[in-house]
Every structure is written in structure tokens, then in C-alpha cells.
Structure 1
Amino acid sequence: MKKDLPSEIIADILLRLPLESVATCKCVCKPWLDVIETDDFVTSHLSKSAPALAVSMPTEYSNWFNVFKLEDEPEHEHEHVPITKFDFPQASTIQGSVDGLLLLKNPFIDHLYICNPVTREFVELRGLRTLPRGDCYGFGVGKISGQHKVVYLNPKSGCHVYTLETGYPWRRVEAALSFDNYYNFCFSSAGVYFNGNLHWLVSNGRTSLYICCFDVETECFSTFSTPVESFMGKLHTLGDCLSFCDIEPHGDGNVIWLLKECESGEKCWREVHAISRKESYYGIDLYDSFQLIQVYRNGDMLILWDEKLFIYYSNEERTTREIGLFGKMDDDCYYINCITLTPSFLSLKRNLGMENVMSF
């Protein structure tokens, strides 16, 4: 095949294969490996890669991860076979995901790691002195430079950024945001990355609730309002939109809002889904604690409830039921931790030029 076809045709063929098959092709011969490891192939594959779900179920002695495909239409009759699975060598929780990379944090010693589940590479980000309370983290990529940045935010120590491509130590960002006026408490340690910006739900410590927005490219802060004053609300990304899930009781239902661009060009919130609070699961109000993972075309939803169960919500029937698509907690499992992921062959060492990269 190498003798008869130019490398660009070989790359085009390989790009049409499932991710698992491409990973196998890397081991066939060196010419194929060279094609798959080029920057052009990595970029092209990432642009065509289908969404997936990274699921972690840590126990006392292991930290297993599984990466599953996210289908456009729900399937409920059997468990999905993971695209890849691995046991990460450090205790960790997922703090962010971009371009197929995961930002992980060791909850016991506050160490941060970047890993790629497909290439099986990881690196520890050293040199950051964190504080015990109020920490926020984020992981995003600049829309112009394409640089991948990890952001650490704390109301006392300020904002610090680590740029993966440069390998420089953490640097403090003198942000335009006044922390005293806008940021005293963060309601979620993991920032939501959307459209080149990281978002956190924060409070000024009094009565106001804001969304703190950090432009990854310019490293400037801004704030804008939530659709309702709900201190139990959650931020997520749904497709190409930023969403706000209002899980505090307001009337008979909980509401999901999407951030849209109005005719004037300004951002505005639009209510798109209302979930009846009359429904419950095992006698517990489902909507007091849930992570919205996916909304299907018919309005049905895939939900992680209370970091314990995967739930399918039927919009037409207004019912919920447990599903085993992505596995269940064992008796020794602490919780379920998950995030949407776009699988890629982006190499920490080869493509990003990072040092001290390890394999697992």
C-alpha cells in the first residue's frame, strides 16, 4: 500500500476508520505510524471525531476510566462497549476536557495532571501552590493561537495560567476582574469550556450570583448574569450552547436555559426544557442533584444523578429510569465522575512539545 499510494491518500483512508481501528493501524508498520503522528492527521481526525463520554469510577485501590461513544439516538437495551479503558496511576477527579485531553486533579494532594486516554500519555503540572478553600480550575484552548491553557482561580491568590505548549511555570495573570466585587465563592471547582471561554458560577459573598467568564486567548475576565437567581444551578455545555440548569424548586418544574445570541448581537438566555418535579427516583427528588450529559432530538435526556446513577428521562412520558449504558457503581466505588470528550491522537510530547511526559 505504501508503494502504490501517496501518503496523503493513505491518510485519507485512515481518517475514515473508527478510532479503535486507527489506534491498531499505528502498530502495523512505521510508515502508517508516521502518517498518523503528523500534525495534519491529528488536526483532521480531531475535526471529524464524534463526541464521547469519559467515565471514572474510583475505588480505594484503583482509578479506572472508560471512554464510551455518545450516540445521537438513545440505546437502552445493552451496555456500551468502551472505545478505550485504562487505570490511571494517580487518584484523580475530572476537572475539564478539550481536544481529547483531560485535566485531572488528585483530591488528596492537589496535584494536577493532563492526560490523553487515546495515546496513553500523561504529565504532572508542577509548581502551583494551591489554597485549601475556594479553588477553581479550568482547561481550554485559545481560538486564535490554538494554545492549550490550564487556569487556576482563587479569590485570595488570584488567577494563574499554565500554557502547555510553552512549558513555562505557572504565571500570575493580572486580570481586569475585581475579585472583591464579583468573586468571593465559587459554586463549582471545574470551569465549563465553551466557545473559547471558561465559565464558573460565582458569588460575591452577599446576594448576587454571576457567571465569571475567562477568555482563554486574551486572558481577560468578564461577567454576565444567570437567567434566574438559583444558587443550586449548574453550568454545562450542550452541543454548541452554554446551558444553565436551574435545579432549585420554582413552581412545578426545573428549567434548562440555553445561552443564545439575540438579533441585537447581545447574549440572551432562552428557556428550552422544563422538567416536572413531580417525578422522583427511588423516592428522592431527582432534580436536587444532577449532571445533564445529553439532550436528544425528541427532548429526552441522559442524566447522571447524584454522582451515583445514570438516568434516562423521557420527555414525552415524563418518567425516569435507571440505565446501565455506562456501567454501575460497585460497593467499593466512591462515586461516578464523567465529562464529554472528543477523542484525539494529540500527543503531549510530539504535538505539544511537553517535557516529563509519562505513559500508562
Structure 2
Amino acid sequence: MDQGLHVHLPQEIIYKVLLRIPAEFLNTLKCVCKLWFDLISSHKFVDAHVTRHAGDLAQILVCRDSKLGPLKREYEIVSIQDIKNTRFQLQHHQLEVLLNDEIYLQSSCDGLLLFESRNKEYQLYVCNPITRKCSVLPLLKKTVLNLEWTLVHDGSTCKYKVVGLSTDTPRCFVFTLHGNHTKKTTTTTTTPTCWRELSMPYQDSLFLSPLTLLKNELHWLAKFPGKEQDILYLFSMDIAKKNFRDIQVPISSRRPWNKIIEVKGSLCLTDYCECSNQLDIWTLEAEASIWIKNYSINLKLSGPVTLCSYPSSTYSCETRVLIWRKNQIFVFDLENSSLERIDIPTEEGMRVRHNIVHISSLVKWE
């Protein structure tokens, strides 16, 4: 080939082009040359790639399991952006073979997945399905029932943490993922550090919503029994300082339709009335610690619904929320009230168990 036809692009241009490419293809592109390998492998690139694609390449991990007989579980990844054409299976079985265990998906954060063992009590795993790297976490050496697990990124230390909150006892367990692994293979690692146990100042509360991370705090909704009616509180935990705080919620409990979600970087509370199909969304004004009802919408959907945040609005200033109803998922835009439906096909004898918002990335925790 004529050497004059070769074009040498500046490294800055190559970097910007690679940032546009979905994570699923970047592992292959590492093999092009050493420059590309170094660029794609750098922490700077990985972080920038997550920030760029958090909103526009969001996916929903749909968990289905069998209604009767031996438990069969499968996960399907549905792209929110390309609903009709992008639909593929998460290689859940391959991960089970890799870990030599049957696993259950608990949480997703920046492309990392947190799994819990179905066979080994308190055994947890962190995996990136794109890079196929997995960590086996040390066993939690405590007998604690009904733990709510989540995987979060601590912005103050740039570390990923696994957090477990007990719904029965006022205890919290935190594990920080480090890079100094004691045992390492090409695919799995085992970390030597231990769990940190914390006391929570709340007892006799009942969790009503999953854990939501915003501005380096974990938030969840819980209720306490009152004389005439249950009292709702928003609880928050600073994942860096390990401080706790609470704010009373100005509505009565309508379990299970009260949820904590994130919209445009603000913490919001959903209040859905099944009888009227009315959805109210209250926004917390953090400085004044007051709730303001910003949205009141008639969803025109029959039956119970569950809401969750569109992936990390702090990245993309999204005004969309996800609504889950039976085997359907709806993407609802709060600004223009548009509603887009995603039908989840289900085989006979299978049911949709839960959904988790997820993005693909090359994030690593070493």
C-alpha cells in the first residue's frame, strides 16, 4: 500500500472517537494497537466513558423466574434507547459457571453488578459482565436476617462499596472494594479486607423502597407505626462519613407505591393512588428540608405500578422515570407527559420478578 495514503490522527482525536463507542465493542478495539489499549484501559477514559453514556445507552436488566417447579432464572437486557431492535440475554449462566454458584442479582452501579449466592449464606460477588472480571467478597460473619444490599460509588474516595442494611435490626454493614487482592486469576479475585459494622439509630421501621444513591448519600423510605396511621420518614446515610439523618414525609403511607427516586439530581418521593391512577411526585428542597409537589399526573394505567429512577440523572439531567407494571415497562417523561411502552415477552410458566437499571462499562475496582 502506498505509504502516502496513511493518515496519522492526533491522540486527542482518537480519544474522542473511542469515547463514542459502546463498551461492548471497546474490549475488541484494545487489540488494534498499544496506543488504543493504553487509552481504553486508563481510569480517565473509563470514567469519562461512563459519564458520557450513562443516559444515552441505558439498559434495563429484566429478571424472570419460574412460577412453579424447579427454580429457573434468566436475565434479559433491554435497551431503553432502541427498544424495538436491541434485546439480548445477559450471560447469567456463564457467570454462574465462572463463580461455581447459583446467583441472584441485587444491584447495579456504573456497569458493575452485585450478586448474592442462592446456596451460600451471606456470600456476595461483584462482576463486570463486559470485562468478565469478578470478585468474591469475604463472608459476612453475622447472623442477620432480611438485609437490603446495594453497590455504590463513594465519590470522596473514588472507591466502590457494598452496603447492607438490616430491616430487622438497626445494623449496617459496609465493605470497600480494594485492589490489593490476596488471590488472583484471569477472571476472579478474592479480597482480604473485612466488613465494617455500624449501628443505625432507627429501630422498628419497615423498608418501603430500594436504596437510592444521590450526592454521596444513600436514601430509603421507611415507616413507623403511629397511633392512628403509619408515619413515613426519609432516612439518609452519608457513605463517606457514616452519618445518619431523617426527614418526615408529608404524606400518608400508600404501600407499596411510595418510592424514592431521583429526577434532575434531586431526591423525589412518589405517591400513587391506584383508584384514580393519579401520580404525585414531591421534590425535597434540601436546604430548607421541605417537600414540594412538583408533578401531578394521570397515568391512565390500570392496576398497581412500581416506579424507579431513570439511570443517574446527575449525569444527564433526565426528566424521565421508569414505570413497571406486570410484564410492561413504561418510560415516562415528566416534562412533556409522553409515555413509551416496552413489552417484555415472557415464556409460559415464567414471570417478571424485578427490573434493575443498568449501563455497560469497562469500570474496574482495582
Partner SS, residue 45 of structure 1: helix
**Cα RMSD, aligned residues only:** 3.8
In structure 2, the residue matched to 1:103 is: 114
Aligned equivalent of 1:215, options 235, 238, 242: 238
SS at match of 1:17: coil
For the 8 Å contact 2:221–2:260, the answer to whether it is kept is yes
> Are the structure 2 counterparts of residues 29 and 298 from structure 1 closer, same or farther at C-alpha, using a change threshold of 3 Å?
closer
Report the equivalent of 1:345: 362
1:81 to 76, 83, 86: 86
Find out whether 1:139 has 2:151 as its counterpart.
Answer: yes
Deviation at 1:224, TM superposition (A): 1.3
Tell me, yes or no, if the aligned pair for 2:260 and 2:267 is still in contact at 8 Å: yes
Match of 1:304 in 2: 324
- For residues 130 and 191 of structure 1, what CA distance do their matches in structure 2 show? 21
Q: Which residue of 1 aligns with 2:307?
A: 291
Note if 1:328 corresponds to 2:345: yes
TM-score by length of 2: 0.74
> How many residues are treated as equivalent by the alignment?
326
Q: Tell me by how many angstroms 1:235 deviates.
A: 1.6
Superposition map of 1:205-284 within 5 A:
205-206=225-226, 207-232=230-255, 233-248=258-273, 253-261=278-286, 265-276=287-298, 279-281=300-302
Post-superposition CA distance 1:106-156 (Å, at most 9, x none): 456553222223222222323114656442223222222122111112242
Q: CA deviation at 1:15?
A: 1.6
Whether 1:153 aligns to 2:181 is no
Aligned residue number for residue 61 of structure 2: 55
Question: Which residue number in structure 2 is paired with residue 186 of structure 1?
Answer: 207
Partner Cα separation in structure 1 for residue 51 and residue 337 of structure 2: 36
1:281-330 CA distance string (max 9 Å, x none): 4xxx2xx3322454999988642114x32246698999988533xx3222
Question: Which amino acid letter does the alignment assign opposite residue 187 of structure 1?
Answer: L
**1:213-233 C-alpha deviation (Å, 9 max, x unpaired):** 111111111111223122411
Fraction of identical pairs, as percent:
23
Q: CA deviation at 1:45?
A: 1.4
Gaps of 5+ in 2: 66-70, 180-190
Please state whether the residue corresponding to 1:179 is helix, strand or coil: coil
Maintained 8 Å contact 2:174/2:197: yes
CA distance in 2, matches of 1:316, 1:99: 26
Match of 1:169 in 2: 194
Alignment gaps of 5+ in structure 1: 354-360
Higher relative contact order (CA 8 A, sep 6+): 1
In the TM superposition, residue 104 of structure 1 has moved relative to its aligned partner by: 2.7
Amino acid at match of 1:44: A
Q: What's the TM-score, normalizing by structure 1?
A: 0.75
Q: How many angstroms apart in 2 are the aligned matches of 1:291 and 1:337?
A: 11
Over 3 Å counting, the alpha-carbon distance change for 1:36 and 1:313 in structure 2 is closer
Q: Does 1:17 align with 2:21?
A: yes
Is contact 1:236-1:292 (8 Å) kept? yes
C-alpha deviation, 1:19, in angstroms: 3.2
